[in-house]
Structure 1
Amino acid sequence: MCGAWAAEPDDTRPAARFQGRGRRRGVVGPPDHRDRPPFCRPGDPAGAVAGPAVQEATPTGGEPPADSGDERWTDRPAGARRAPLACRHPGGAGYSVARRRRRLEPLVTLPGPLIFTGNAHPALGEAICASLGIPMGRAEVSSFSNENIFVRICENVRERDVFLVQSGARPVNASFMELLIMIDAVRRASAGRITAVIPYFAYGRSDKKDQPRVPITARLIANLLETAGASRILTMDLHAGQIQGFFNIPTDELTALGLLGDAIREREFRGVVVAPDLGSAKRARNMAEGLGAPLALCEKRRVSNNDEAQVLHLIGDVDGQDALIIDDEVDTAGTLVEVATLLKGHGAKTISAACTHGVLSGPALERLEHSPLSRLLVTDSLPLPGDAGDKIESVSVAPLLGEAIHRIHTGQSVGALFP
C-alpha cells in the first residue's frame, strides 16, 4: 500500500520513522501529500482519516502509549509495517536506490594458456600444444657469439597464464639458464602466473649431503627458479620425492608409470618386475601392482663418485620368467646393464627395462647394444640421440603434460592424473 502503513497484527517488527527535510512527523509520501494526515493513502482527500486498518491498531477504549520520547509511537500504530522503499521514495514512480537491482556484467571467457619452449626439447613443446589444440607461443631464444643467452617474448603476456616448457637436456647448464632468463622475461612483461614445466629435473641426484663438503644442488636449483620469478613448478618422476620440499611455491610431480604400464600391457607382459636398487623399490612395486606381477629386488652399492656401481645380490625368483626392470632414469646405463647381467645369470628368459627419463649419456648406447637387454622403453621427456638403436622405444608424455597444464590453468585437480 504505497505511502501508507499497512496493518499486520502478526508483524510487530519495529521500523524507524521516515524523515525528510521539511516534512512533518509521520508524513509519508511525495511532497504534494504533505498536507494530508499521517497514514493516508496518496489518493485520499486532504480531510480523510486513517482507514480501518489503522483504526483497528488501537484497541477500543484503549489509550495510546504514553509519550516515552520514542517518536515511533507517535507515527505508526502497533502491528503496522512500513511500505516498501520504492513506494516511500520522494520521487514516486516506484524507484529506490537501495532496492535497485545491480546489472550483471557479461561473463568473460578465460583466455587460454600461453606455452613457450626453449631450445632443450622444442619437439616436446610442440607436441604439448598439439594435444591442447593451441599454437605455440612466439619467442626468440638464441645465443650471442660470446655464448650469452638472449630471450625475447614476441607476443603480449600481460596478466596471462604462462607455461615455459624446458627439460634438463644437454647441454644441461645452458638449458637451465635459458629457463631462468625466460622466466625473468615474462615476469618483467607482467605475466599473471608463470609455471615452469620441467619434465626432467636435472641435478635431481644432488638431493642430500652424502659426503663431507658437498652441495645440495637440487635445493640451489629450486632457489634460483623461485628467485627468477616462477609461480609454480610442474615436473615428472623426480629422482627423489623430497625435492618437492625444496620449493616454497606449489610443485606438482607427475608420473609416467601409467603411460609405461599401458605400453607394457599392449605387449602382454607376463613376468617379474625388478627394482634395480632400494631407491626404486616403491616405483617398481607400484608397477608390479598395476601389472599384477610379482616383485624382485636387487641390492646395489655405489663404490665411487663416478658411474661405476656394484650389484650385490638378487632378492626374488626370476628363473625361467620374463624380467622387467623399472627405474626413474637411465643415464650411463651402468646400473641397468649390471642388473640385466645378474638377472641373466639367475635364469631370466628375457630381460627388458622401462625408465621415465632416457638421459643416455657417455657410453650408454654402446653398453646397451652389448647387454642382455632386449628392449628399453623410455619417454620423450628428453630428446633421444639420433643413433639410439633398435632396442630403444619411446612413449610420448605430451598428452599427460598437456592435460596437467589444462587442469592447472582451469583450477582443476592435478592429483586425478596419478595412476
Structure 2
Amino acid sequence: MNKIKNNCYLLFSMAILSILYSLPLFYNQDLRAFNNQDLLFHLTRSLGMNNVLSSPVNFLNYANHGTMANTFYPWVFLFPLFVLYKVSGSIVIGYKLFFLLVTFVTMIIAYFSVYSIVKNKNSAFLFSVLYSFSLYRTTDLYYRSSFGEVIAMSFLPLVILGFYQVVFNDYKKWYWLTLSVSALLYTHLLSAAVMVIMLLIAFICSIYSMNELRHRLQTLVLSGIFFVFIALGFIVPFVIRTHQNVLSVPPLFKLQGTNLGDLFVFSLNNTIGMNSIGITTIVALVITIIYYTKNRATLSKFKHLMFYSAIVVLILSSSLFPWSIFNGTPIAQIQFVWRLNAFSTVMILMAFSIIVLPNTNLSKRMILSIVGFIVLFNFSSLNTLYNDPQKIFTSLSTSKRTNVMVALMSRLWTGFFGTESCRTPKIFQNPDFSLKRRDFWVFL
C-alpha cells in the first residue's frame, strides 16, 4: 500500500513539474515560430497525417504542392499530436498539450532508467528533473522546435538502460534495448543512426570485461534481429520512395565542432539557442569528474564506461575532434556537430546520477531546493529568449485559421532551402490527378 502511495506522489510531482516546464507555452495564447527553425515544417507534417495510412503524399499542405515528408521522417509518435489537434480543433493547442505530455513521459522514462540501475529513488528523481529541464532539450523544444529530436531524447535513457542490461546485468531483459532503439528509429532517423554507432563502439570497448560472454552475444544478436523486423515498417517504404523519386534534401554544411571554451561559456550563460548543454549539466560534469578522480577504484565497470563515454562524446561535440575529414562523406548528413549535445547531455547527467548521487545523503529539503533552482534556471533562460529583441518570430494564434495558415506558410521553407522537382511516383501517374508536377520535401 505504501509503495502505491509513494508512486502516486511521484507521478503527481512529475505531473506538476511537467506543467511548470511547459508553462511558458501556455502563458501566451500564441505560439512562436522562430525564424528559420523547424516549427512550421513539423506542424505541416502533423496536419498531413490525416491520410498518412492511405497515401504517401498529402496535397493539403505546401500550398497544394503536396508533401511526402512523413514517408521519410518517422511519424508514429506524432500521432498523439494529430489526435489532440483533432480534439481541440487547433494545431497550436494540440502542440502545447502534446509537449506537456512528452515532458511527463520523458520524466517517467528517465526515472525508470536510472532507478533500474542504481535502485535509488533520489538519484532517479533528480536525474528525471535534470534531464527533462536540461538546456539542450529546452533549446530543441522552445527555440528549434525540433520535434524528432525532442521526442528522441525521451528514449535515450532507456537505450542506455537496455545496453546496461544486455552487457553488464540481466541479459534476459534484452527487450529494453530492442524497444528503445526501435522507438528512436520511429522518432528521429539521425538520432537512431548515431546511437547505434555509439552502442557498437561501447560494446567493443566492453567485450573483454563481460562475464557470460556467449550468452550476452546471443542476446545482443537476438535484440538486433527483433530490431530489424520492427524497423522494416519504416525502412521498406523509405527505401522504395527514395528510389522512386528525385528528392529535395536540406543543404549540407561543413562539419565543425564548437570551441570547447565557447561551449563551456555558452553553457554557463545558460542561453537558449546556442545549442549548448547548460549550466546544470556543466556543474554535474565537474562534480562527477572530482568524485570519479577520488573514488575510481571502487566503481563498477559500467560506471567507468559511463564516465568515459560522457567525456568522449563531449569532446566529439567540440572542435578538438577533426570533423573536417568527414566532409563529403555520408557522416556529413548529421549537418550540425552540436546535435551530439543531446547524447552528451544524457550521458553526463546519467553518469552523475549513477556515480555520484547514490553516495550522497540528500535530505528532502535539499532535493526540493535543487529542483527549485533547476526550475528557476529554466524560467530565467526562457524569459531571456522570449524578450530577446534579436530573435525574429512569427506568432501563431489558437484560432482555427492558424491551421490553414500553417499549411500555406510552408512557402517560407521554399525561400530558404530552394526547390527541386521530382518525378511523380507511379501510383500517381493517372488522369485522376490534375497536377502534372509534384514537389516533395524531405527533412531528415
Range class of TM-score, shorter chain = under 0.3
Structure that is richer in helix per residue: 2
* TM-score when normalising by structure 2: 0.27
Higher RCO by CA contacts (8 Å cutoff, separation 6 or greater): 2
* TM-score when normalising by structure 1: 0.28
Structure that is richer in strand per residue: 1
Bigger Rg, structure 1 or 2: 1
